[in-house]
Each structure stands twice: as structure tokens, then as C-alpha cells.
Amino acid sequence: MIPIDTVLVKLASRCNLDCDYCYVYRMGDQAWRAQPKLMSSETLDALARGLARLGGAQSDPLSVVFHGGEPLLVGAQRFEAACSAIRSQLPPPHGLHVQTNGLLLSHEVIDVCAKYDVGISISIDGPADVHDRHRPDLRGRRSHDKVVASIARVLEHPQGNALLSGLLSVVDLEANPAEVYAFFKAVGARSVDFLYRDGNHDLLPVGKTSLLSTEYGDWMTALLDEYLADPSPIRIRLLDDMLRLLLGGRSVKEGVGDEDYGILVVETDGTITKNDTLKSAGGGDRFKEIWTVHDDLLEIVASEAFKKYHRSQKPSSPVCLSCPDLRVCGGGMPTHRWSARNGLDNPSVFCADQRRLIDHMRQTLSMRAVA
């Protein structure tokens, strides 16, 4: 059986934002239209029972992340019912988290998170001009001020510093890395994670002119310089992981390094799917087998189909396997390796970017060692 680290639970299949880079609604996959808008209590109860069996069968705790769409579209009352259902079967040290755009993060919801030990992660892309360029609501209105107010609301809670797991930001190449970093530090969160824009070999990420260009690597290198120059920095997960790997340590999250991460996704109808970022890879998030939370999760993760999916998260391209930076880069996210011709058997579209960033990290560490 493959140990499961993360279970993404889609409490809601719709969203109240219209982000222009969203892999669910903006990259061609329309499967969400056939899903129930909200997960039913029956599906949630079946999932909780299955997770209890799964968690009890492995030595390490797993992490359940309420996701979407926008999970808080279920409303505060149903959100509390979902937290109660999962926590009744998966007490700490199993993790429970919510990934939200922040628009519905009310005092009531924050109190629920405090009651059930639910970590809160909020998506925000930086200063208002950056964020609102990509993350309007469904009527085209700006969302930045509401998100900033929600972050402050969490931090004002008596348990706020513990509840706010961090912020999640998608890289905008038009933004100034120094200004973005300054914004996140001023917000008051303990950490921020940066994601590259999604893309693949058939549709390059926005702003990337070729597979050999390094626009994203250049941006992250400038961010790294700001980060390392700060005597009291906030944590940046991607940079921390890569620096730790260069120094001989381990990563703590998927996307870099050579650690294994078992990931399950549960749609609102209870269907089990692969990592949902694969929606942008020709609908590659779906198994041929139709599994739901009413099936035995232990049997699912022990199946040959699941093992094949798990293996596919590792790079298979000869370019990656012969690369001296593979232990740090990890081959990138599977969806970034995809092409209609070769499937996932390609290097990441961000290969040149990651090598640019790794080279700069290595040079910086060497200079600091000499100094």
C-alpha cells in the first residue's frame, strides 16, 4: 500500500472568483459541470469512515485539505459539519486544512477552524494591482481588499497565528519581485508559497517564450535575492525546500526533491481522482476505474492502477534522469511535463527556469561560505 500524505476534498465544485489562470475552469477541462455543486452529508460521512481506515493503516499521519472550487461556498454551518465529520474519525496528529480565496472567511468560519484545529491557507497574488489583474469575482469586480481584510480577521483571532498556515501566490511575471515580497512581509503571515503559472509542452505558460527561456527562473532569482537580503524573512516554502535540498536536506512538499507524496482527490460526488492539476493535461486526472468513497480506500491505494499513477509523478524522461540537478528540481509537477504526443514522458516546461534558479542558489551559497 502506498502511504497517503494528502487528501484533497472538494466540498464545492464551483467558485466565486474567475481567476484567469485557473486550471479547473480556464484550461479546457469541463468535468466540473457534471459535478454536484456541493458535497452531500452522505458522501462526507462515507469519506470520513474511509479516511479513518486509511489513516489507521499507515504509520504517518495524513493531511486532509478542503478544496474547491471554493470550499467555503458550502456556508459556515455545512463547513462545521464537514469539520466535525472528519475530526470525529481523524483526530490530531492527522492534519485538517482549508485552502480558500478568503472572500467568505467570516468570524464564524474562523471560530469553526479554531474549534476543530483546521489550518487556514489563503490565496492572494500580492499587491492590489497584481492580485486584481488576475483574480476578479464573477462580476469582474476587484477582490484584493476583501482578501486582505480576511487575512487580518484571521490574525486578530486569539489563535490566529497558529491557524494561518500561510498564503499561496501565483507568479505574475509583470510584477516586481521586490514589491511582491515587501507586500507579503507587511501582511503579517508567517509564510507564503509561490506557484508557477500552469502550462505544458502543447501550451506554454503565460510569459514563457520557449522551452529554453528562463523568465520564471529570472523572476524567482530576483525574489531569492530579496529573501536572502532580509535579516528577518518570512518563510517561502519553494525557496526553503530548494535551499534545504542543496544543503543535503529534504523537501517538505511536492514539486521539488525526490520524496514520494501519495495524493488522493475526492470530487463533490465522492469520485476518487488523481492530482487535480492534471485536469490541464488533457483531462489526465481521471482513472479508468470508477472509484468512489463508498469503495474501500485501502484497496484503491493498493491497486495496480493507483501504483501506476503514483509512479507517474516521478520524471521518466532521459533528460531528467541524467540531470545533475534532479535531486533538487525533482522533475517538477507532472502537469508541467505533459504533451499530447508523449504524455508525461517529457522534462518540465520549467526545466530551464529551475536550472537557472538552482545555479543562482548554488553560487549564492558558495559565496556565503567563502565570506
CATH number at residue 204: 3.20.20.70
Between CA 39 and CA 71 the distance in angstroms is: 10
State which residues form the domain around 33: 6-359
Q: Which residues have C-beta within 8 Å of that of residue 26, sequence separation ≥ 6?
A: 19, 20
Nearest Cα to Cα of residue 192 among 256, 123, 95, 97: 123
pTM of the model: 0.94
Structural contact between residues 123 and 101, judged by C-beta atoms closer than 8 angstroms: yes
231 burial type by CB count under 10 A (0-12 exposed, 13-18 middle, 19+ buried):
exposed
pLDDT at 108: 98
Q: Collapsing DSSP states into helix, strand and coil, what is residue 356?
A: helix
DSSP state of 165: E
* Domain count across the chain: 1
Neighbours of 77 (CB within 10 A): 10
Mention every residue, 6+ apart, whose C-beta is less than 8 A from residue 30.
none
C-alpha 139/C-alpha 250 separation (Å) is 43
Q: Is 207 inside any structural domain?
A: yes
Examine residue 1 and state whether it is found in any structural domain, yes or no. Answer: no
Neighbours of 369 (CB within 10 A): 7
Work out the burial of residue 308: count CB atoms within 10 Å of its CB; fewer than 13 is exposed, 13-18 middle, 19 or more buried.
Answer: exposed
**Alpha helices, H only, the chain:** 41-56, 76-89, 107-116, 128-134, 144-156, 160-163, 177-187, 215-229, 237-246, 297-301, 304-312, 318-321, 326-329, 351-370
Instruction: With respect to residue 370, please indicate whether it lies within any of the assigned structural domains.
Output: no
CA atoms in the 13 A half-sphere facing the CB of 145? 2
Whether residue 366 is contained in a domain is answered as no
- CA 22 to chain CA mean position, Å: 12
The pLDDT score that the predictor gives to residue 28 is: 63
367 within some domain: no
Amino acid at 331: G
Q: Is residue 194 helix, strand or coil?
A: strand
Grid cell in block for residue 137: 469575482
Q: Please name which of 78, 67, 74, 76 lies closest in space to residue 119, comparing C-alpha atoms.
A: 67
In one-letter notation, the amino acid at residue 171 is V
Predicted local confidence at residue 370, as pLDDT: 53
Looking at residue 302, its amino acid is: A
In a domain, 105, yes or no: yes
What is the pLDDT tens value at each position of the chain, 371 positions in all? 889 999 999 999 999 999 998 877 776 667 778 899 999 999 999 999 999 999 999 999 999 999 989 999 999 999 999 999 999 999 999 999 999 999 999 999 999 999 999 999 999 999 999 999 999 999 999 999 999 999 999 999 999 999 999 999 999 999 999 999 999 999 999 999 999 999 999 999 999 999 999 999 999 999 999 999 999 999 999 999 999 999 999 887 777 888 878 899 999 999 999 887 787 777 778 889 999 999 999 999 999 999 999 998 899 999 999 999 999 999 999 999 999 999 999 999 999 999 999 999 999 998 877 54
